[in-house]
Structure 1
Amino acid sequence: MANSRYAWEIPKTNSVRLLKEHRFEYVKSFEQPDVLLPNTWIVVRIDGRGFHKLSDHYAFAKPNDRRALDLMNAAAVEVMKELPDLCIAYGVSDEFSFVFHPNCQLFERRNGKLVTTIVSTFTAHYVYKWSEYFPDRPLLPPHLPSFDGRAVIYPNNRILRDYMSWRQVDCHINNLYNTTFWTMVLQGGMSNTDAEQELKGTLSADKNEILFKRFGINYNNELEIYKKGTVLYRQYELEEPKPTKSLADEEAPVFESKQSKSQQDKIRKLRRKAQVVIDHVDIIKDEFWEKRPWILSGNPGKLPA
């Protein structure tokens, strides 16, 4: 180091040797692989953190704030556009599930990369678009929206569909309860405690009866977005349902030959051309999936004329 102007400067003659023998590179050995199982559906589900406090602070309407739901949907659409590997997404309240097909090779299927990309992209668009939906309620610290996420893998089409059905059933159960609860509080003048106590142990039929007999509300007439949540997918020409596969086929693991990089790039380009649509429909019944076979197959359909 005597030839250096400063003690911390590395002489050029020794720089290559020192880089090769870098004594700090050992820390890379602590990084653990987090690659998700191949040939499985990947679902990245994000949830709002502390959204009860956030919704109270920004005075979200009860039981549903259409602006808040539309904002969630708008942010999710942008995620779908930026990541053409996604084939479908489902959202309700402050959560969204994003689904990658079993043949997806994005980020080599690394758990951390997939989850953090989804969460950060969604959050960025949610914050960016906030003023479009809440122009009179500017975001201010410390009440800022944030989301967490996790990835879960599912081995076959049937279980993936069961997962999606579970989220939609959960949407219906929670919305019926919240609609009844807040109607009793806001229109019936009951306290939160009294309304909660009366609803304890009630069935769906009981809640429907309370809404109709006391307040003249037919729950069936509520908006579909509240009852069914939101499903996002790429729109191609609808197809006529074909003979249904056997249950054994539905339950069989999905084994796909690994696509080349050129094949993946071609499919991404085709997917980017398709419009991402926002829908509020039943995804539990077979009809939705049979008319949109491209979702489960992973192969782009024919663009609408």
Structure 2
Amino acid sequence: MANSEFQYVRSFETWDALPPSNWIVVRIDGRGFSKLCKKYDFAKPNDRRALDLMNAAAVEVVRSFVDIVLAYGQSDEYSFIFHESAQLFERRAVKLATSVATQFTAEYCMLWPKYMQGVELERPWPTFDGRCVCYPKRKILRDYLAWRQADCHINNLYNTTFWNLVLKGGRTGTEAEEELKGTVSGDKNEILFTKFGINYNKEDEIYRKGTVVYRAYDLEVNGQERNKEATEGSKSQLEKEKKRKMKAKIEVEHCDIIGDGFWEKRPYILASKRGEDYGE
């Protein structure tokens, strides 16, 4: 950039690099999605087309940013996890948040015709905001993801019960809210089963558990060793690792990530740069 008498204005910019050795979560949320759902008449309590659209957009974001090791989404939100060793944009919070949010927004709008066939997208276009949060330990990161999945279950159970009371039970929105006031999960399960014959545990897992997006490698058990070689090796090895990530198959699953099973099967996802599996 050429020097000029006006260059002093750069001194007002704030340097916002996130601390090293922290896992970075970029969480995006839909702006005004309650109005959007109403405008396009999304199915209640869940619109599978809309969720598939969210997941497709997330896959493209994961594909574009090789430092993202995993993404988790539910409803109109997605959390993208950047590896603790990521150096993209010098770990600047604003650049990371805006880059992920803007690409997700663009992918969502471009993919809309494929997943919402026959529904023309109009202004105001759907948009997503983003924020960065750092977690210094893998255990805390795991707890964050568990929190989001627990939130998915709680919200979906409530919404499933609420909308069945309204759509099938003839309640008004206010009446349904009043009936559900003070209820716990067991009460809601009982309402669904006794009044509508619905076994909540048999509802599709995409609704109950949300969606996990990650890279899968042919030899999962060797994933952490490959990670070790790449991160401790030469520049050419790092470049090979980047290409391997770009070529890796991106998996989309609806499964439990609160327990240890998912992580034990794929230790490379949260492996450190030294090739260790996840831990404290």
TM-score of the aligned structures, taking structure 2 as reference length: 0.90
How much has 1:32 moved relative to structure 2?
1.3
Amino acid at match of 1:97: S
Quote the residue 1:188 is aligned against. 169
Q: 1:261 to 1:147 in 2, by over 3 A?
A: farther
Quote the residue 1:269 is aligned against. 243
From 248, 266, 269, give the equivalent of 1:292: 266
8 Å CA contact retained: 1:103, 1:259 = no
Quote the residue 2:48 is aligned against. 66
Q: Structure 2: give runs of 5+ residues left out of the alignment.
A: 223-230, 276-280
8 Å CA contact retained: 1:85, 1:101 = yes
How much has 1:239 moved relative to structure 2?
3.8
3-state SS of 1:149 partner: strand
Q: 1:170 and 2:151 equivalent?
A: yes
Quote the residue 2:225 is aligned against. none
How much has 1:279 moved relative to structure 2?
0.2
From 168, 182, 199, give the equivalent of 1:218: 199
From 27, 37, 50, give the equivalent of 2:9: 27
Q: Matched residues, percent identical?
A: 60
Quote the residue 2:104 is aligned against. 122
8 Å CA contact retained: 2:59, 2:213 = yes
Quote the residue 1:282 is aligned against. 256
Amino acid at match of 2:208: K
3-state SS of 1:60 partner: coil
Amino acid at match of 1:228: K
Q: 1:85 and 2:78 equivalent?
A: no
Q: 1:202 and 2:202 equivalent?
A: no
How much has 1:265 moved relative to structure 2?
2.8
How much has 1:83 moved relative to structure 2?
0.7
8 Å CA contact retained: 2:74, 2:152 = yes
Q: Structure 1: give runs of 5+ residues left out of the alignment.
A: 1-18, 241-256
How much has 1:111 moved relative to structure 2?
0.7
Q: Any idea what the Cα deviations from partners look like across 1:89-137, whole Å, max 9, x if unmatched?
A: 0000000000001111111111111111101111111000000111211
How much has 1:266 moved relative to structure 2?
2.9
Supply the distance in 1 between the matched residues of 2:233 and 2:40 (Cα, whole angstroms).
Answer: 47
TM-score of the aligned structures, taking structure 1 as reference length: 0.83
Pairwise CA RMSD: 1.8
Q: Any idea what the Cα deviations from partners look like across 1:221-261, whole Å, max 9, x if unmatched?
A: 10000000000000123449xxxxxxxxxxxxxxxx89875
3-state SS of 2:11 partner: helix
8 Å CA contact retained: 2:220, 2:268 = no
8 Å CA contact retained: 1:87, 1:298 = no
Q: 1:45 and 2:27 equivalent?
A: yes
From 110, 113, 128, give the equivalent of 1:147: 128
Quote the residue 2:137 is aligned against. 156
3-state SS of 1:141 partner: coil
Supply the distance in 1 between the matched residues of 2:251 and 2:204 (Cα, whole angstroms).
Answer: 18
